[in-house]
A and B are shown apart, each in its own frame.
Chain A
Amino acid sequence: MDLQNLAYALTQLVHNFGAVAVVGGALLGRWPLVALPPIRRKLAWLVLAGWTIQVVSGAGFGTISYAYYRQFPELHDIAFVALLVKVACAIAGISLSVAYLRFQYAWTEPRRERVWSLLILLGVTALSAAAFLRWFA
Protein backbone atom coordinates (compact mmCIF):
# COMPACT_ATOMS: atom_id res chain seq x y z
CA MET A 1 0.00 0.00 0.00
CA ASP A 2 1.24 3.46 -0.90
CA LEU A 3 1.95 5.31 2.36
CA GLN A 4 1.44 8.67 0.72
CA ASN A 5 -2.09 7.77 -0.41
CA LEU A 6 -2.80 6.29 3.01
CA ALA A 7 -1.69 9.55 4.67
CA TYR A 8 -3.94 11.61 2.35
CA ALA A 9 -6.86 9.21 2.84
CA LEU A 10 -6.61 9.24 6.64
CA THR A 11 -6.38 13.04 6.64
CA GLN A 12 -9.43 13.18 4.36
CA LEU A 13 -11.29 10.84 6.70
CA VAL A 14 -10.60 13.07 9.71
CA HIS A 15 -11.45 16.18 7.65
CA ASN A 16 -14.79 14.68 6.59
CA PHE A 17 -15.79 13.85 10.15
CA GLY A 18 -14.80 17.37 11.17
CA ALA A 19 -17.24 18.63 8.54
CA VAL A 20 -19.98 16.40 9.92
CA ALA A 21 -19.33 17.77 13.43
CA VAL A 22 -19.48 21.45 12.44
CA VAL A 23 -22.69 21.14 10.43
CA GLY A 24 -24.43 18.38 12.38
CA GLY A 25 -23.51 19.84 15.77
CA ALA A 26 -24.77 23.28 14.79
CA LEU A 27 -28.04 21.88 13.38
CA LEU A 28 -28.70 19.98 16.60
CA GLY A 29 -27.73 23.06 18.62
CA ARG A 30 -30.24 25.20 16.73
CA TRP A 31 -33.05 22.65 16.83
CA PRO A 32 -32.15 20.34 19.73
CA LEU A 33 -34.18 17.23 20.47
CA VAL A 34 -33.98 18.23 24.14
CA ALA A 35 -33.36 21.96 24.66
CA LEU A 36 -31.34 21.67 27.86
CA PRO A 37 -28.40 24.08 28.32
CA PRO A 38 -25.91 21.31 29.28
CA ILE A 39 -26.74 19.40 26.09
CA ARG A 40 -26.31 22.52 23.98
CA ARG A 41 -23.03 23.12 25.75
CA LYS A 42 -21.81 19.68 24.73
CA LEU A 43 -22.88 20.44 21.18
CA ALA A 44 -20.91 23.69 21.27
CA TRP A 45 -17.84 21.69 22.34
CA LEU A 46 -18.52 19.29 19.46
CA VAL A 47 -18.69 22.19 16.98
CA LEU A 48 -15.51 23.71 18.41
CA ALA A 49 -13.75 20.35 18.13
CA GLY A 50 -15.06 19.98 14.57
CA TRP A 51 -13.67 23.35 13.47
CA THR A 52 -10.35 22.65 15.17
CA ILE A 53 -10.16 19.30 13.39
CA GLN A 54 -10.96 21.06 10.10
CA VAL A 55 -8.05 23.47 10.59
CA VAL A 56 -5.56 20.81 11.66
CA SER A 57 -6.50 18.26 8.98
CA GLY A 58 -6.68 21.00 6.33
CA ALA A 59 -3.13 21.97 7.20
CA GLY A 60 -2.33 18.25 7.14
CA PHE A 61 -3.03 18.05 3.40
CA GLY A 62 -0.44 20.73 2.75
CA THR A 63 2.01 19.15 5.18
CA ILE A 64 1.83 15.76 3.44
CA SER A 65 2.40 17.42 0.06
CA TYR A 66 5.38 19.29 1.42
CA ALA A 67 6.81 16.19 3.09
CA TYR A 68 6.72 14.20 -0.15
CA TYR A 69 7.40 16.84 -2.81
CA ARG A 70 8.78 19.87 -0.95
CA GLN A 71 5.89 21.75 -2.53
CA PHE A 72 2.49 22.90 -1.38
CA PRO A 73 -0.61 22.38 -3.53
CA GLU A 74 -0.88 24.93 -6.35
CA LEU A 75 -4.27 26.54 -6.50
CA HIS A 76 -6.06 28.33 -9.31
CA ASP A 77 -7.69 31.70 -8.53
CA ILE A 78 -11.17 30.30 -7.82
CA ALA A 79 -9.76 27.52 -5.64
CA PHE A 80 -7.61 30.00 -3.73
CA VAL A 81 -10.64 32.16 -2.97
CA ALA A 82 -12.49 29.00 -1.85
CA LEU A 83 -9.61 28.18 0.50
CA LEU A 84 -9.71 31.70 1.96
CA VAL A 85 -13.46 31.33 2.49
CA LYS A 86 -12.89 28.03 4.32
CA VAL A 87 -10.21 29.55 6.52
CA ALA A 88 -12.43 32.56 7.32
CA CYS A 89 -15.30 30.21 8.20
CA ALA A 90 -13.03 28.18 10.47
CA ILE A 91 -11.79 31.29 12.31
CA ALA A 92 -15.34 32.58 12.71
CA GLY A 93 -16.62 29.12 13.72
CA ILE A 94 -13.98 28.70 16.40
CA SER A 95 -14.53 32.25 17.71
CA LEU A 96 -18.32 31.84 17.84
CA SER A 97 -18.27 28.46 19.53
CA VAL A 98 -15.75 29.70 22.11
CA ALA A 99 -17.95 32.77 22.69
CA TYR A 100 -20.99 30.50 23.09
CA LEU A 101 -19.20 28.39 25.68
CA ARG A 102 -18.10 31.53 27.51
CA PHE A 103 -21.38 33.48 27.44
CA GLN A 104 -24.06 30.83 26.98
CA TYR A 105 -25.74 31.51 30.32
CA ALA A 106 -25.52 35.29 30.01
CA TRP A 107 -27.13 35.41 26.56
CA THR A 108 -30.86 35.50 25.90
CA GLU A 109 -32.46 32.56 24.09
CA PRO A 110 -33.00 34.53 20.81
CA ARG A 111 -29.33 35.47 20.85
CA ARG A 112 -28.26 31.87 21.43
CA GLU A 113 -30.42 30.78 18.51
CA ARG A 114 -28.88 33.45 16.29
CA VAL A 115 -25.42 32.12 17.16
CA TRP A 116 -26.45 28.56 16.30
CA SER A 117 -27.93 29.77 13.01
CA LEU A 118 -24.68 31.57 12.24
CA LEU A 119 -22.72 28.41 13.02
CA ILE A 120 -24.94 26.47 10.58
CA LEU A 121 -24.34 29.13 7.93
CA LEU A 122 -20.57 28.96 8.47
CA GLY A 123 -20.56 25.17 8.21
CA VAL A 124 -22.64 25.14 5.04
CA THR A 125 -20.51 27.89 3.49
CA ALA A 126 -17.29 26.01 4.26
CA LEU A 127 -18.71 22.78 2.82
CA SER A 128 -19.76 24.59 -0.34
CA ALA A 129 -16.34 26.23 -0.68
CA ALA A 130 -14.75 22.80 -0.31
CA ALA A 131 -16.41 21.66 -3.52
CA PHE A 132 -14.89 24.58 -5.46
CA LEU A 133 -11.52 24.02 -3.82
CA ARG A 134 -11.59 20.38 -4.87
CA TRP A 135 -12.56 20.88 -8.51
CA PHE A 136 -11.17 24.29 -9.47
CA ALA A 137 -7.65 23.89 -8.10
Chain B
Amino acid sequence: MNAFKPLTFLLLCLFLSPQAYAEEPSVRILSPADGATLDLMAENRVKYAVVPGPRGDHVHFYVDDDEVAVLRQLEGSYLLGSLLDGEHELCIKVVNKNHTPIGIEKCISVLME
Protein backbone atom coordinates (compact mmCIF):
# COMPACT_ATOMS: atom_id res chain seq x y z
CA MET B 1 0.00 0.00 0.00
CA ASN B 2 2.86 2.34 0.88
CA ALA B 3 4.26 1.86 -2.64
CA PHE B 4 1.35 3.88 -4.00
CA LYS B 5 2.19 6.95 -1.94
CA PRO B 6 5.04 8.24 -4.15
CA LEU B 7 2.95 7.58 -7.24
CA THR B 8 -0.02 9.43 -5.76
CA PHE B 9 2.28 12.31 -4.84
CA LEU B 10 3.69 12.48 -8.38
CA LEU B 11 0.22 12.46 -9.90
CA LEU B 12 -0.89 15.22 -7.56
CA CYS B 13 2.18 17.28 -8.49
CA LEU B 14 1.40 16.77 -12.16
CA PHE B 15 -2.24 17.73 -11.97
CA LEU B 16 -1.85 20.50 -9.42
CA SER B 17 1.06 22.12 -11.27
CA PRO B 18 0.62 25.75 -12.37
CA GLN B 19 0.27 24.67 -15.98
CA ALA B 20 -2.68 22.47 -15.13
CA TYR B 21 -4.35 25.44 -13.50
CA ALA B 22 -3.33 27.94 -16.20
CA GLU B 23 -6.07 29.49 -18.28
CA GLU B 24 -6.33 28.60 -21.95
CA PRO B 25 -4.33 31.08 -24.03
CA SER B 26 -6.60 33.60 -25.72
CA VAL B 27 -6.90 37.07 -27.19
CA ARG B 28 -10.04 39.15 -26.72
CA ILE B 29 -10.64 42.49 -28.40
CA LEU B 30 -13.07 44.15 -26.01
CA SER B 31 -13.71 47.18 -28.18
CA PRO B 32 -14.44 48.20 -30.85
CA ALA B 33 -16.73 45.40 -31.94
CA ASP B 34 -16.04 43.48 -35.11
CA GLY B 35 -17.55 45.39 -38.03
CA ALA B 36 -17.87 48.65 -36.04
CA THR B 37 -17.76 52.02 -37.77
CA LEU B 38 -15.27 54.44 -36.23
CA ASP B 39 -15.10 58.21 -36.52
CA LEU B 40 -12.08 59.18 -38.59
CA MET B 41 -11.56 62.34 -36.51
CA ALA B 42 -12.02 60.72 -33.10
CA GLU B 43 -9.36 59.29 -30.79
CA ASN B 44 -9.94 55.58 -31.31
CA ARG B 45 -8.61 53.05 -28.85
CA VAL B 46 -8.57 49.28 -29.14
CA LYS B 47 -9.16 47.62 -25.77
CA TYR B 48 -7.86 44.09 -25.39
CA ALA B 49 -7.21 41.33 -22.88
CA VAL B 50 -4.73 38.55 -23.49
CA VAL B 51 -3.91 35.27 -21.79
CA PRO B 52 -0.53 34.37 -23.34
CA GLY B 53 -0.34 30.77 -22.15
CA PRO B 54 2.90 28.97 -21.28
CA ARG B 55 4.55 29.64 -24.65
CA GLY B 56 3.40 33.19 -25.24
CA ASP B 57 5.26 36.23 -23.95
CA HIS B 58 3.78 39.46 -25.28
CA VAL B 59 1.60 40.65 -28.17
CA HIS B 60 2.05 42.37 -31.50
CA PHE B 61 -0.58 44.70 -32.90
CA TYR B 62 -1.24 44.78 -36.65
CA VAL B 63 -3.16 47.11 -38.90
CA ASP B 64 -3.84 45.65 -42.34
CA ASP B 65 -1.16 43.01 -41.79
CA ASP B 66 1.51 45.58 -40.86
CA GLU B 67 2.97 45.28 -37.37
CA VAL B 68 2.50 48.70 -35.80
CA ALA B 69 3.19 48.08 -32.12
CA VAL B 70 4.69 45.74 -29.56
CA LEU B 71 2.39 45.55 -26.54
CA ARG B 72 3.86 44.18 -23.34
CA GLN B 73 0.78 44.82 -21.21
CA LEU B 74 -1.49 41.82 -21.41
CA GLU B 75 -4.57 43.90 -20.73
CA GLY B 76 -4.99 47.47 -21.83
CA SER B 77 -5.68 49.65 -24.79
CA TYR B 78 -3.83 50.85 -27.84
CA LEU B 79 -4.41 54.22 -29.44
CA LEU B 80 -4.93 53.79 -33.16
CA GLY B 81 -2.93 56.17 -35.27
CA SER B 82 -4.52 58.01 -38.13
CA LEU B 83 -6.05 55.62 -40.61
CA LEU B 84 -7.42 56.38 -44.03
CA ASP B 85 -11.15 56.08 -44.52
CA GLY B 86 -12.38 52.68 -45.55
CA GLU B 87 -12.22 49.20 -44.10
CA HIS B 88 -9.22 48.09 -42.05
CA GLU B 89 -8.26 44.84 -40.38
CA LEU B 90 -6.94 45.06 -36.81
CA CYS B 91 -5.18 42.03 -35.36
CA ILE B 92 -3.57 41.16 -32.06
CA LYS B 93 -1.24 38.15 -32.06
CA VAL B 94 0.42 36.48 -29.11
CA VAL B 95 4.13 35.98 -29.82
CA ASN B 96 6.86 34.15 -27.95
CA LYS B 97 10.12 35.67 -26.65
CA ASN B 98 11.56 35.27 -30.15
CA HIS B 99 8.71 37.42 -31.53
CA THR B 100 7.16 34.50 -33.40
CA PRO B 101 3.34 34.31 -33.53
CA ILE B 102 2.30 31.13 -31.75
CA GLY B 103 -1.12 30.87 -33.37
CA ILE B 104 -3.18 32.64 -30.69
CA GLU B 105 -4.69 35.73 -32.29
CA LYS B 106 -7.81 37.76 -32.82
CA CYS B 107 -8.65 39.94 -35.78
CA ILE B 108 -11.54 42.34 -36.37
CA SER B 109 -12.43 44.63 -39.18
CA VAL B 110 -13.49 48.23 -38.68
CA LEU B 111 -14.78 50.87 -41.04
CA MET B 112 -13.25 54.33 -40.75
CA GLU B 113 -15.58 57.12 -41.81
Contacts and interface: CB of A to CB of B under 8 A. Distances in A.
B95 A61 contact: no
B60, B97, B103 interface centre (most CB from chain A within 10 Å): B97
Contacts of B102: 69
A69 B94 CA distance: 12
Given A75-B67, A76-B70, A65 B55 contact: no
A8 B98 contact: yes
Given A4-B55, A74-B95, A136 B70 contact: yes
A73 B99 contact: yes
A61 B102 CA distance: 14
Interface string A63-76: 01100110111111
B99 A75 contact: yes
Contacts of A76: 60, 67-70
Contacts of A74: 60, 67, 93, 95, 99-101
Given A74-B60, A74-B95, A137 B101 contact: no
Interface residues of A, number: 17
B101 A71 contact: yes
Nearest to B68: A76
Contact of A71 (B55, B70, B100): B100
Interface string A29-70: 000000000000000000000000000000001001100110
A76 B55 CA distance: 20
Contacts of A137: 70, 99
A68 B67 CA distance: 21
Interface of B: 54-55, 60, 67-70, 93, 95-103
Given A65-B96, A69-B100, 15 more contacts: A2-B54, A4-B55, A8-B98, A68-B100, A69-B101, A69-B103, A73-B100, A74-B67, A74-B99, A74-B100, A75-B99, A76-B67, A76-B68, A136-B70, A137-B99
